[in-house]
Structure 1
Amino acid sequence: MTVLQALLKHADRLVGRLIIQLLPPSSHRDVRLPPISVLFIRPGGIGDAVLLIPAVRALRRCFPGVSIDILAERRNAGVFVLCPGISSVRRYDVASEFRAALKSRYDLVIDTEQWHRLSAVAARLIRAGARIGFVTNERRRLFTQAIPYEQDDYEADSFMRLLAPLGCGGGRGEGQFLDVAERDAETAESLLASLKRRVFVTLFPGASIAERCWGGGKFAELATRLQRKEIAVVVVGSAVDSEDAETIERAGALNLAGKTSLAETAAVLARSSLLVSGDSGILHIAVGLGVPTVSLFGPGREKKWAPRGDSHIVINKDLPCSPCTTFGYTPKCPVNARCMADISVDEVESSVLALLATKKIQ
């Protein structure tokens, strides 16, 4: 978490509730159809942004002429490059872009934040005919349509439910819903040239918090085993994942960590036969590209965030203390994230080989 992200969360706790109480509440109001202009507010991480895209696409299917803008953050704004047809993407944490959003006018603002209050305040301040958001705390006062939110619903389904007042939505957020631009696909081909179009498995060792990490040593051992079976391995990530990535590289993997943009990382994933990852934004990008995955869950909520379908295997030790994350907050673990540490290289390798053996992935 960056210093700015920490400050925003602190401000949300201290002043968000107070600001909400000072603002006049919004009365219930039906959404005027068809909407001509819609703003989705999506602060937070990469995974939330990815799983919002099925709802964005569903809205466009319902109303083909609608203009869709996004108000995101620096850390997740790049995701929306993978969703053609969005009119503009502004960033919540860039003052000039936030001011531009406040000066705009929309038929509808949809706040997709699940808990924090300041995004609801922003939705209330932006001129709009109607406002839709989740009912999780006092933020409900600022919406003209308040939507229930459940911790055990798959997150793409939760986002889709925000479209219910418009009479559209449907679907379950499954199947391919992300698109890679041709220029990024060409970059990926260049970066992967040394593999000579061999089948390869991609590893992502990173995570937003330490408790979700499996460990560079275990990923390196997995890479060694796969290469003994003549399966090439590629590691992706950002510069902050470099230490683990270098450990995996020493095991013979092609190391692309810190060498690609988010869109280029997606293009690498699109060429991959399979991704192995913890609960992460990169995992959700792979799912959105239709790439099979083996995912490692512990602190996070499997029902809400884990991939679904026959092309995905979720490994979860289901310890009594797991999951411990609620609304993005994970408490300090008193047992050193045993839920992740207990996942063995043997069971991850077996899951990878089982998926690669299916006709779908050959």
Structure 2
Amino acid sequence: MILLPVLGDVLLGTPLLAALRRAYPQARIDVLVRAGCGAMLDGNPDIDRVIESEKHPGLMGYLRLLGRILRRYDLVVSNALSDRAAIYAWLAAPERVTWADPGPAGNWKRRIYQRWPERAGAVNHPLQINGWLAELLALPPPGPLVLPRCPGAAGRIRALLGDQDDRPLALLHPEGGMPYKRWPDANWRELAGELSRRGYRLVVTGGSAPAEREYLERLFANGPPVCIAAGRLRLGDLPELFSHAELYVGVDTSVTHMAAGFGLPTIALFGPEDPRAWGPWPRQPPGGPAPDYRPAGHCAAGNVRILHAQLDCVPCRRMGCEHRPDSPSRCLEALKTGDVLAASDELLRPDAPAPAGRRAVIRELRHVHIVEPAPNPGHGPVWLRHVIDALRGHVPRLTVSCPDHPDYRSLAESDGGDGISWRRYAWRRGRDAIAGGLATAAALDAELTLFTDLGWLLRHARGDLRRRTGTPIWGIWFNPPAPETGRPGPLPALGRRARLHRREQRVLTAAPRWLAGVLVLDEALTTRFAPQPGLRVGILPDPWPGAPSLPQAEARRRLDLPAAARLYLHVGVAAARKGLGDAIAAWSGLPAADRPILLRVGPVTPAQRDAMAELIASGDAILREARASDAELDHYLCACDWLLLPYRRHEGSSGLLTGAAAAGRPVIAADYGVIGKRVREAGLGLLYPHCSIDGLRACVQVSMRTGPDRFAESLARYASAHDHAHFAAALRAALDLG
């Protein structure tokens, strides 16, 4: 268990938590924080449980806390030397470590804590202490801050910012929790006016307290237009906001540490506090040196500039000049608007390193290397075509590396247009299957490598791929796996599939360093992997490759299907996860008199064929085992009345939804995963409880009494939002190609 008392301590303790998790991946790691501080750990992949305790819990509160921590742990690490923290540590575990020598005044605490770093001195930064504790506990060097992450953050930021204003974004954070930390109001208004004249769009961040929002609204009431985000966002939304910004200016507070740790150009306005102890550290690799901050005067390190007055009394480390929360601080009053503007000019000069989360990281792309990492007949060439069509005309040169497989050969032979060169390689199964696709990749002199199947790559690729490509690497991750819940058993699962699954699960908590960007097909999928500063994430609609537009009667004539029957289409591979067995069982239980026809298109297993035999004999099922072309699938979608998606396990989205919507056909789907979410939210058809054969059967019966017009408008809307044009625009926007 880790004891982290206040909000800033919680944030600055996250690198140590990550180091513990890397060293002990199977351990249970709980964090005890003060009530209200747990939000800083939202989405943190390194912890199992957050325990919140009131500052003054009362007798019953103490008893409840005692029941949760009493001798439940093997080790406690505390970064607080308070009496209460020492007692909690003594109650929780037999081995107890703290961050510094309790000193002669705390002799009784020396009996509680067995170890502490010997190097701690009078002025220590929590991130330095993390490193010392890691050495003491034989852990790997702590890395960067792990920022909180909330599901749906991208949607809330889009709603906050809109999409009509393309001016660069500057974030202002005037409130530090105590009035003595405030920069003078007139200075904030002057800074807002100057940044606005320089062409910046301004967003003001802050806490959720009504009094804080009222203060911020009064502060900027008579200045240039600003967006007050205080009270509208959670802590876990801020990393997404940082990814849109070019500059952050804030006072001494935890949000300033978040911006600096994210990699955003950060200007911190310091007053009575000592930057050596509490200055925000720039983003840097694990084991990086401590910034050379001074006790007074301006300081610089990486993407951070600390503005600090050079006065004799600085740093006093008191609550302002009068040592009370609402006291003025002359050291803050001595900082001028010109100081902030000069620091911003230095941070944003053209030759300055690009910030980790800045949206315009990739500009003026001249050459993109597109790699299909494994043969995937059917699905692979379709998505490769989508990507090529999206980038054609926007990137002067495209190099496409794909397996030497008939499907890809036909694609290459049909598309060798200007600016596109094809490299076919002999794909082989094994530890380095992608070697052919990356052979001589660095010599191509591309500016970006885009993998069309990132999931396969994460499961199989070895080593630092950026060294082999010589470029930033992006990839489309179709089905990020849902994180495993529960604790693993005493013996790991064996076999190749289990090994690959464990590799992909590890990526959920720590994406490889060579990965620059991830493209997923639904916002819900972004919550399945841990955010990392510098890792960009884009969301793509999933288009359907064809254009199903035939009248139903004509489609049935061409496919030789019954003209008047009600047809329910099931299409795809024969895997059990696609739910064909559930559909067959549901059909067998329907009354024979009004049973519609189950139309199966695609291969089946012998067991599935046997199960369908009786339905086929009675005329209640049709089996077409031959692989259908894209054009034939268009015809089948137009010919059916309903599309069946009874998936038992399917973590991603499905282009079939778009195909059905384009054909105007509603769907029947399990209320599960991304597909269930889309059907429910967009109104694309009917849902039944996941894996329930009775529920599927009931849903089919309801559909037979439901007119097709009920879903027509929703289907048309969905098809329009997921067409090729929207896919191409989303891909180009993710890569900043306009």
TM-score by length of 1: 0.80
Structure 1 match to 2:487: none
Q: Is the 8 A contact 2:183 2:332 kept in 1?
A: yes
Which of 39, 62, 65 is the aligned partner of 1:98? 65
Q: Which structure is higher in RCO with an 8 Å CA cutoff and minimum separation 6?
A: 1
Letter in 1 for 2:33: A
Gaps of 5+ in 1: 1-38
Structure 2 match to 1:10: none
The CA distance in 2 between the partners of 1:314 and 1:249, in whole Å, is: 27
- Aligned runs of 1:141-290 on 2, under 5 Å? 141-148=111-118, 149-171=120-142, 173=143, 175=144, 177-178=146-147, 180-193=149-162, 196-238=165-207, 239=209, 240-246=211-217, 247-248=219-220, 250-251=222-223, 252-290=225-263
Whether 1:346 aligns to 2:338 is yes
The CA distance in 2 between the partners of 1:194 and 1:242, in whole Å, is: 24
Q: Is the 8 A contact 1:293 1:313 kept in 2?
A: yes
* DSSP 3-state at the match of 1:85: coil
Structure 1 residues 277 and 166: CA distance shift in structure 2, 3 A: same
Structure 2 match to 1:71: 32
Bigger Rg over Cα: 2
Q: Is the 8 A contact 2:267 2:304 kept in 1?
A: yes
Identity %: 24
Structure 1 residues 125 and 359: CA distance shift in structure 2, 3 A: closer
Q: Deviations over 1:286-336 (max 9, x none)?
A: 12322220001121111121124321111111321111227xx77734993
The CA distance in 2 between the partners of 1:211 and 1:142, in whole Å, is: 36
The CA distance in 2 between the partners of 1:222 and 1:169, in whole Å, is: 42
Q: Is the 8 A contact 2:70 2:91 kept in 1?
A: no
The CA distance in 1 between the partners of 2:278 and 2:149, in whole Å, is: 22
Aligned residues: 317
Give the superposition deviation at 1:225: 0.6
Moved more, 151-160 or 316-325: 151-160
The CA distance in 2 between the partners of 1:183 and 1:140, in whole Å, is: 46
Give the superposition deviation at 1:153: 2.8
Structure 1 match to 2:97: 132
Moved more, 253-262 or 221-230: 253-262
The CA distance in 1 between the partners of 2:173 and 2:231, in whole Å, is: 12
Which of 299, 311, 316 is the aligned partner of 1:319? 311
Letter in 2 for 1:136: P
Give the superposition deviation at 1:59: 1.2
* DSSP 3-state at the match of 1:353: helix
Give the superposition deviation at 1:242: 2.1
Q: Is the 8 A contact 1:49 1:76 kept in 2?
A: yes
Structure 2 match to 1:41: 3
* DSSP 3-state at the match of 1:70: strand
Q: Is the 8 A contact 2:11 2:146 kept in 1?
A: no
* DSSP 3-state at the match of 2:117: strand
Structure 1 residues 74 and 179: CA distance shift in structure 2, 3 A: closer
Q: Is the 8 A contact 2:28 2:48 kept in 1?
A: yes
The CA distance in 2 between the partners of 1:189 and 1:140, in whole Å, is: 52
The CA distance in 2 between the partners of 1:338 and 1:160, in whole Å, is: 34
The CA distance in 1 between the partners of 2:258 and 2:308, in whole Å, is: 20
The CA distance in 2 between the partners of 1:112 and 1:254, in whole Å, is: 37
* DSSP 3-state at the match of 2:314: coil
Structure 1 residues 331 and 346: CA distance shift in structure 2, 3 A: closer
Q: Is the 8 A contact 1:200 1:233 kept in 2?
A: yes
Whether 1:300 aligns to 2:269 is no
The CA distance in 1 between the partners of 2:168 and 2:239, in whole Å, is: 17
Give the superposition deviation at 1:266: 4.0
Structure 2 match to 1:332: 322
Structure 1 match to 2:558: none
Q: CA RMSD in A?
A: 2.5
- Aligned runs of 1:82-121 on 2, under 5 Å? 82-93=43-54, 95=61, 98-103=65-70, 105-113=72-80, 115-121=81-87
Q: Is the 8 A contact 1:49 1:79 kept in 2?
A: yes
The CA distance in 2 between the partners of 1:332 and 1:98, in whole Å, is: 37
Structure 1 residues 100 and 199: CA distance shift in structure 2, 3 A: farther
Structure 1 residues 201 and 249: CA distance shift in structure 2, 3 A: farther
Gaps of 5+ in 2: 282-300, 361-738
Letter in 2 for 1:69: D
